[in-house]
C-alpha cells in the first residue's frame, strides 16, 4: 500500500521512537547549540529522521532553530525537567550479563518501582540483553522488594558517576553493544516515568497541506487505540507517515488506498494489492473539513495475517 516518492528512493527509511526524541532533548541540553548533522550523529539515525524530530519539537515550541544551531526554549526546559534522566556508561560484571553496560539515574522515581523485573522486560523488548534495577533508600542502594544492599564496590562506582539521592532509581542496561545497552536502560526509565508526555496537540486545524509530523498526534492516538496495529496517514497534498510498533518507520509515505480514499471521499475496506501490506486487509477513512477531504488515515489489520510477506511480526497473545 505504499509508493515512495521517486526523489526519496534510495534513501534510508527513517526510524525513531520515544528514546530518540528523549535523546535529542538530552543532547541539546548537554551540547547546545547543536547542529542537525551533529545531532543525527549522536542519535545514530539518519538526517531525515532527525529533521522530523526537530520539526516536531519546534512545532511544539520546545526548541529554537537558528544559524548557530538548536537550543531549548523556556517551554522546552520545563518539559525536560519533567523527563530528566542521567545516562552514563557503567563498567561492572557483578550485576550485568552483557559486554556493554549503561547506567541511568531516574530522579525520585523509587515509589514507582514494583519488583524490578518490569524494567528488565522493557529493556529486553528494546534490544538489550537485560537490566537490573536499584533504588536508593535511607542512603543505601538496594534491590527492589527487599532490603538487600548492592555490593559496596558497585555502589561506590555508581556514586562516583551520579549524585544519588534517596528516592532515586538506577537502571543498569546490559547488551552486546553500547547503543542497545543505552536504548534498553533509557526506554525502561521512560516507561517508569510514564513516557515523554510530549504529544502533539490538535490546537490548529489540519489542512490539505499538513505534513506527516502534523498528523503524528492523531496517528499515534489511533495506533494506541487499535492495540498497536500499523497506522498510515497522509494529507491531500503532502506525503505522510507510516507507524508500526510505536515508531515512525516512514515519514515520506503514500499509498494506493490512501490516495483512493482522498479522491473518493469515503471509507474503503479492501485487501491491499501492492506495497509492504500486499495481501493484507486495510481500512482507510477520510478526514474532512468544510465538506472537503483534506487527509486520509488507515489501519492495517494484521491480526489474522501474522507473517504475511515476512513483514509483520506479531506478539503472542500471552505477551
- Is the pLDDT at 213 greater than 80? The verdict is no
For the chain, the farthest-separated pair of C-alpha atoms sits apart, in whole angstroms, at: 68
Q: Is the pLDDT of residue 197 over 70?
A: no
The enclosing H or E element of 151 equals none
Measure the CA angle with vertex 15, ends 318 and 297; round to 5°. 75
For residue 114, the Cα-to-chain-centroid distance in whole angstroms is 24
Please, what sign has the CA dihedral across residues 189, 193, 198, 201? positive
DSSP 3-state assignment of 290? coil
> Is residue 28 a contact partner of residue 70, using CB atoms and an 8 Å limit?
yes
pLDDT at 198: 66
Q: Count the alpha carbons within 13 Å of 108 in the hemisphere toward its beta carbon.
A: 4
Instruction: Check pLDDT > 80 for residue 204.
Output: no
- Note the pLDDT tens digit of each residue in 80-110: 999 999 999 988 767 777 789 999 999 999 9
Q: Tell me the CA distances in angstroms from 99 to 89, 132, 134, 257, 306, one per residue in order.
A: 12, 14, 20, 46, 34
| pLDDT tens by residue, 251-275 | 889 999 999 999 999 999 999 998 8
Residue 309 has pLDDT above 50, yes or no: no
The pLDDT of residue 110 is 94
Nearest one of 300, 165, 170, 279 to 223, comparing CA atoms:
300
Domains in the chain (CATH in brackets) are 6-81 (1.10.10.10), 86-192 (3.30.1360.30), 213-310 (3.30.450.20)
State the burial class of residue 238 (Cβ atoms within 10 Å of its Cβ: 0-12, 13-18, 19+).
middle
User: What would the grid cell of residue 296 be?
Assistant: 486520509
In this prediction, residue 316 has a pLDDT band, given cuts at 50, 70 and 90, of very low
Rounded to whole angstroms, the Cα distance separating 296 from 211 reads: 12
Residue 147 reports pLDDT greater than 90: no
Grid coordinates standing for 9?
528512493
Please give the residue that has the higher pLDDT: either 87 or 46.
Answer: 87
Would you list the DSSP string of 166-225? TT-EEEEEEESSHHHHHHHHHHHHHHHTTS--------SPP-TT--TGGGHHHHHHHHHH
Cut 0.95: pTM above it: no
Amino acid at each position: 500500500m505504499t509508493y515512495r516518492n521517486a526523489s526519496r528512493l534510495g534513501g534510508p527509511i527513517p526510524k525513531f521512537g520515544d528514546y530518540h526524541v528523549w535523546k535529542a532533548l538530552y543532547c541539546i541540553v548537554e551540547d547546545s547549540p547543536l547542529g542537525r548533522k551533529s545531532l543525527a550523529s549522536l542519535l545514530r539515525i539518519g538526517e531525515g529522521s532527525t529533521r522530523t524530530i526537530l520539526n516536531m519539537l519546534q512545532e511544539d515550541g520546545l526548541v529554537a532553530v537558528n544559524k548557530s544551531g538548536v537550543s531549548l526554549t523556556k517551554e522546552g526546559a520545563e518539559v525536560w525537567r519533567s523527563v530528566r534522566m542521567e545516562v552514563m556508561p557503567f563498567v561492572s560484571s557483578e550485576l550485568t550479563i552483557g559486554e556493554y553496560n549503561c547506567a541511568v539515574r531516574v530522579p525520585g522515581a523509587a515509589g514507582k518501582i514494583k519488583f524490578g523485573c518490569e524494567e528488565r522486560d522493557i529493556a529486553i523488548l528494546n534490544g538489550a540483553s537485560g537490566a537490573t534495577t536499584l533504588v536508593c533508600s535511607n542512603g543505601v542502594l538496594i534491590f527492589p522488594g527487599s532490603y538487600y544492599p548492592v555490593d559496596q564496590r558497585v555502589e561506590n562506582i555508581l556514586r562516583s558517576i551520579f549524585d544519588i539521592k534517596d528516592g532515586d532509581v538506577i537502571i543498569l542496561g546490559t547488551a552486546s553493544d553500547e547503543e542497545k545497552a543505552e536504548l534498553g536502560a533509557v526506554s525502561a526509565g521512560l516507561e517508569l516515568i510514564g513516557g515523554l508526555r510530549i504529544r502533539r496537540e490538535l490546537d490548529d486545524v489540519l489542512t490539505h497541506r499538513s505534513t506527516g509530523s502534523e498528523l503524528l498526534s492523531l496517528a499515534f492516538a489511533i495506533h494506541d487505540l487499535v492495540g498497536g496495529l500499523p497506522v498510515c496517514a497522509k494529507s491531500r497534498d503532502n506525503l505522510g507517515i507510516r507507524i508500526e510498533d510505536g515508531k515512525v518507520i516512514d515519514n515520506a509515505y503514500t499509498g494506493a488506498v490512501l490516495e483512493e480514499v482522498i479522491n473518493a471521499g469515503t471509507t474503503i475496506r479492501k485487501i491491499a494489492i501492492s506495497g509492504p501490506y500486499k495481501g493484507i486487509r486495510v481500512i482507510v477513512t477520510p478526514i474532512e473539513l468544510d465538506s472537503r477531504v483534506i487527509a486520509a488515515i488507515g489501519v492495517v489489520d494484521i491480526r489474522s495475517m501474522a507473517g504475511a510477506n515476512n513483514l509483520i511480526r506479531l506478539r503472542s497473545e500471552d505477551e
